[in-house]
Amino acid sequence: MDKITLARMCRASRMLCSIAQPVLFHYYASGNLARSVRSWNVEHWSPEDDKLPAFLRTLITRPDLALCVKSLQLQGSGVQDVCSPELMLLLSDASSALNFTLPVGWRWEGWAAEDPEDLPGGEPPNNRTYFVSDDNFNPYLLDFHDWLRGLAIALTPRTQMLMYMGEELGELDSFKNTKTVLPALKTLAIRGANNYDYFLSDIHPLLTAAPNLETLYALDCNGVKYSQTTYASMANEDMWIKNLAVNKIHKLVFDEVSPAVFEKLVKQCVQLEDLEYYIYSWENCPDIIQAIFPIKERLRRLCFGYLPPPAPSYEMRLPDNNYTNITSLQEFTQLEELAIDQALLYRKSDSSKITRLVSLLPRSIRRIHLTYVYKSMYEDLMSLAREAPGSFPNLRSMKIGLSTPIAPERVAEIECMRTVESNFINMGVQVLWEEDLKGPFLYTAIPGGAPGLMVAHVPASSWNGGFYGDALQAAAFYGHDSVVMALLSAGANINQHSGGIYGSALQAAARNGYSDVVERLLNSGPLVNDVSGMYHTALQSAARGAQGMIIKRLLEAGADVNTQGGKYGSALKSACLVDNVEVVQQLLDAGANANAVGSMYGSALQTACANGYGKVVNTLLDAGANVDCRGGYHGTALIAASKNGHDKIVKQLLNSGANASGLSISITVSSANHKEVIQMLRGAGTM
């Protein structure tokens, strides 16, 4: 439910107001975020009235509602704040109680917003609104608004998350001499605005007021844009981090500062377990790894990457010289999750056949996220899949973010790289694919930083195309049920063929096994047998992901188990790409035709034989699959098994009566490295 609806409920009746008003005040967002990005990541801001004075009036006169505020998003307005004399008196009394000094731009008569000449008759309504003239316009409106923001923070002691955007942050000095304590504040997110930055030391007063702070997002904290002179004088000093209250910080999100400064900061964060660090230049890469080395036995999550500007090609932003890349994190013995750019592991000149992941990762790793992948790493991923059971027994998830758009000359190798998915699934490792965009807003790294969104990036619902097609499909792909609900409430078309790899939101959710999202979509009326996307139907998409519970629900909703089409031809053939007998049997029990022919593998039996899944082959043969059914890339199941060297399956097929006569000599040639297969084919009279 959005804030407009909640506000209407508050005005409907006293009873509804008592229920809705506390919820309405849980999250105050001032807006004024960047509306667009110009070239090279320069943000364009459109200041608007954020109604902060009215919000403060309520906080002062209704302290019960002030205690309901859990999250604040505060950003400078640049718009004249409307304040009557009565409100100025309220603000003065509140600031005195909190030991806040009255700001520059104080005027007991208040401040105006409009010119009476713009109103009908030139008369103010009820004489309650004050108007701009030479003597009632505040020339210090930014200072005054910053003071209002500080007061809003101090008046909401139960705030748990604060997102604060400023151009210099000098206004935070007002906290130094106050009684302000924010015991509930757990997450603080600070970033610059209007292409400004700040010095890390500027946030000291706010950190001191939050003794229980656990998560700190300090973005744009370099200070070089703010003052190059001050930056130069601080470069080799402890002034950056002196007395910073960060001893309870568990999670730190940072962008580039001096490596020496960063190393000192990390040493002060004695409880740090989760670190995100974004660089703007490649030279500092090895220094940062050295900086975090002292916490190698404590760090559980590391996200390390480069923020690329919106250039036409990601690859053109990479250095041509042989910079030092990261070769090993094995001494980080507690590391469970790693998100890292491909370019931090491989240089542009490195061969695609290099295998580095096995020697990079610690044994404790559970989740890997490779970001901005622009070239194939097929060999390295295959090596990891082979070694995972023994070397990385806890590995459960592999996410690969593809840099978009993929260069035309690399499309084929990237498509080939996608085939590693089945190898990981066989080892119990879930593989997810996503799209990494260039030129990201820094504020999108903050969950909840954009009102209503809890994900880093969701395209606008009116935009079609790309990896996901539209916003609804993207939210479904990641299982964000609350975002799906919000988009549906906003009128997203659930049956729209919006493009993307999956074609529809239902297929995206089904592929990745998000049962709650699938249920919500089904209850919203999608066409369960609608055909679109790579997998053609939601049932085929669920089968490709071996999602047994989703398959059961789709069948209950009327999904046709024998719909033909798509990349793999049918749900049964998609299931045969994964070594999961239960899912194959589930589809057969639902009436799937084991002898349907079509798509790249021809039949379900040929699909299983090509991939070497003996148990699936047995299941299909028991279900009456025709051992000599022809079609597809390989022609027959026997040819598929022979070419791929699956000797046990070749024997299995021959014992089941597969016709070996007349097989092309090319099979023997392609099987030259598989002696057992050659012997069996000779014994069957193929040579």
Bigger pLDDT: 125 vs 596: 596
Q: What CATH number is given to the structural domain containing 173?
A: 3.80.10.10
The answer to the question of residue 94 being in a domain is no
Give me 311's structure tokens: 């250039």
Tell which residue, 359, 312, 370, has the closest CA to residue 337: 370
43 and 155 together in one domain: yes
Give me 429's structure tokens: 């490792």
489 and 568 together in one domain: yes
pLDDT tens digits, residue range 545-556?
A: 889 999 999 999
State which residues form the domain around 501.
Answer: 458-587
* pLDDT exceeds cutoff 70 at 497: no
The answer to the question of residue 5 being in a domain is yes
pLDDT tens digits, residue range 290-333?
A: 888 899 999 999 999 887 766 667 888 888 777 778 889 999 99
Which domain-ending residue is among 587, 609, 626?
587
Query: Which pLDDT belongs to residue 254?
Result: 84
User: What is the rounded distance in angstroms from the CA atom of residue 37 to the CA atom of residue 349?
Assistant: 32
Residues 6+ apart with CB under 8 A from 116: 122, 123, 124, 131
53 and 202 together in one domain: yes
Residues 6+ apart with CB under 8 A from 260: 236
The answer to the question of residue 100 being in a domain is no
pLDDT tens digits, residue range 519-539?
A: 999 988 767 888 877 778 899
In the numeric block, the tokens 């295959």 are attached to 382
User: What is the rounded distance in angstroms from the CA atom of residue 577 to the CA atom of residue 596?
Assistant: 16
Q: Which amino acid is at 422?
A: S
401 and 497 together in one domain: no
Query: Which pLDDT belongs to residue 38?
Result: 45
DSSP state of 513: T
555 and 505 together in one domain: yes
Number of domains in the chain: 5
Q: 88-122 burial, b if ≥16 CB within 10 A, otherwise e?
A: bebbeebbeebebeebebbeeebbbbeeeeeeeee
Q: Which residues pair with 368 in a beta bridge?
A: 338, 398
DSSP 322-363: --------TT-TT--EEEEEGGGTS-TTS-TT---HHHHS-T
3-state secondary structure of 625: coil
Q: What CATH number is given to the structural domain containing 678?
A: 1.25.40.20
Query: Which pLDDT belongs to residue 46?
Result: 59
Bigger pLDDT: 407 vs 463: 407
Residues 6+ apart with CB under 8 A from 379: 352, 353, 354, 355
* pLDDT exceeds cutoff 70 at 201: yes
* Helix, strand, coil percent values for the chain (each to nearest 5): 40, 10, 50
Q: Which residues pair with 433 in a beta bridge?
A: 400
| Length, in residues, of the chain | 687
239 and 152 together in one domain: yes
The answer to the question of residue 186 being in a domain is yes
Tell me what the mean pLDDT of segment 427-441 comes to. Answer: 77
3-state secondary structure of 370: strand
Which domain-ending residue is among 412, 427, 447?
447
The answer to the question of residue 108 being in a domain is no
Share the mean pLDDT of the chain.
79
333 and 422 together in one domain: yes
Tell me what the mean pLDDT of segment 19-42 comes to. Answer: 60
Which domain-ending residue is among 216, 248, 269?
269
The answer to the question of residue 671 being in a domain is yes
Least confident of 77-91, 154-168, 220-234: 220-234
Tell which residue, 550, 498, 478, 486, has the closest CA to residue 519: 550
Asked whether 280 and 319 are in contact (CB, 8 A), the reply is no
The answer to the question of residue 69 being in a domain is yes
The answer to the question of residue 203 being in a domain is yes
DSSP state of 101: P
Using only the alpha carbons of the chain, give its radius of gyration. Answer: 30
Strands 251-255 and 71-75: unpaired
189 and 56 together in one domain: yes
pLDDT tens digits, residue range 348-393?
A: 888 878 889 999 999 999 999 999 999 999 999 999 999 999 999 9
User: What is the rounded distance in angstroms from the CA atom of residue 380 to the CA atom of residue 480?
Assistant: 31
